[in-house]
């Protein structure tokens, strides 16, 4: 038997002095109400009621147990109400993990408007390029860019972002521009260490089927660090459009065309724990991001 339901039957029966009345109040049969009280007495190993054909009266043990039930059940109701309200109304702390460069450029500027729309949600923005474990880290959701590993997490695609190879005009003037992927071996290639497709090799082709060994005198675990080095003329970078697009617009970097297509990043995704009914704070953030990310450069 459901122990909480049994406790509710017991409290109602004690209040009315009748199992039949308690059953009517709770929408169950008298026989089921009797089973609930019997189950409590069997579990506790004591009699809770003195029973006559006309009325129930509490035993000493029953009176003590009633006091405990009257204290516990309101706390359970309060906890359930709080949990339910969070599914209906967007409230509470929302912990969101996002890549550093992307989060700084495109997520942080969106939070002011989100807060105006949902003032009872407090956002904790975790900026990190490391692939952190959402569940182990108690994150409510995360944004990931690129191909996703198999996992039980729920996903929703927010947008796309392509890749491009860039270099500063000064670097190209000194060293020339590669025209084929094989010519990359002759250039200083600045690589992103947290990507499986960039460590010691750059990957091309829409399915990543072409792998080209590269080398360079700078490795970094952040795209903005590589961007700054490339703008200073240190070498070539192979980065998402959203990192380089402003530098390209300013003329600080040139986009280099090669003989093979850039690798497909497979999109920008939001990931969240597997929950059929995620809290309202998670749902409204995902919907908000999906709407606003339509403006992210692809």
φ/ψ (deg, to 5) at 9: -60, -45
Q: Are 202 and 184 in contact (CB under 8 A)?
A: yes
Handedness of CA 58, 64, 65, 68 (dihedral sign): positive
pLDDT at 80: 77
Residue 161 confidence (pLDDT): 80
Amino acid 196: pLDDT: 65
What pLDDT is recorded for position 127?
Answer: 93
Structural domains present in the chain: 3-86 (1.10.10.10), 92-159+268-295 (3.40.190.10), 163-256 (3.40.190.10)
Q: What is the pLDDT of residue 296?
A: 58
Task: Give the pLDDT confidence score for residue 148 in this predicted structure.
Answer: 81
CB 187 within 8 A of CB 236: yes
Low-confidence ranges of the chain (pLDDT < 70): 1, 81-87, 196-199, 276, 295-298
* Bridge pairing between strands 154-159 and 268-272: antiparallel
Taking only the tens place, the pLDDT of each residue in 59-73 is 999 999 999 998 898
**Closest residue by Cα to residue 69 from 40, 46, 45:** 40
- pTM score, whole prediction: 0.65
pLDDT at 256: 96
Residue 191's pLDDT is what?
Answer: 93
Structure tokens at 214: 């590269």
Please tell me the predicted confidence (pLDDT) of residue 286. Answer: 92
pLDDT value, residue 267: 84
């Amino acid at each position: 038997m459901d122990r909480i339901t049994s406790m509710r039957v017991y409290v109602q029966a004690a209040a009315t002095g009748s199992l039949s009345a308690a059953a009517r109040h709770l929408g169950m049969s008298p026989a089921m109400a009797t089973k609930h009280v019997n189950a409590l007495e069997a579990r506790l190993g004591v009699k809770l009621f003195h029973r006559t054909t006309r009325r129930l009266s509490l035993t000493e043990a029953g009176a003590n147990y009633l006091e405990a039930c009257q204290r516990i059940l309101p706390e359970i109701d309060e906890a359930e109400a709080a949990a339910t309200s969070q599914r209906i109304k967007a409230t509470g702390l929302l912990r969101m993990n996002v890549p550093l460069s992307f989060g700084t450029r495109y997520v942080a500027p969106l939070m002011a408007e989100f807060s105006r729309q949902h003032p009872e949600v407090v956002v904790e923005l975790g900026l990190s390029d490391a692939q952190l474990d959402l569940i182990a880290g108690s994150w409510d959701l995360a944004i990931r860019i690129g191909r996703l590993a198999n996992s039980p997490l729920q996903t929703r695609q927010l947008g796309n972002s392509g890749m491009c190879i860039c270099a500063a005009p000064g670097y190209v003037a000194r060293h020339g521009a590669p025209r084929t992927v094989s010519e990359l071996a002759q250039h200083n290639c600045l690589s992103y260490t947290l990507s499986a497709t960039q460590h010691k090799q750059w990957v091309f082709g829409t399915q990543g089927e072409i792998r080209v060994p590269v080398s360079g005198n700078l490795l970094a675990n952040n795209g903005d660090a590589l961007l700054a080095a490339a703008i200073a003329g240190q070498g070539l970078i192979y980065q998402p459009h959203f990192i380089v697009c402003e530098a390209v617009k300013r003329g600080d970097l040139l986009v280099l065309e090669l003989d093979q297509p850039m690798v497909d990043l497979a999109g920008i995704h939001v990931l969240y724990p597997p929950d059929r009914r995620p809290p309202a704070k998670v749902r409204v953030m995902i919907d908000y991001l999906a709407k606003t990310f339509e403006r992210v450069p692809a």
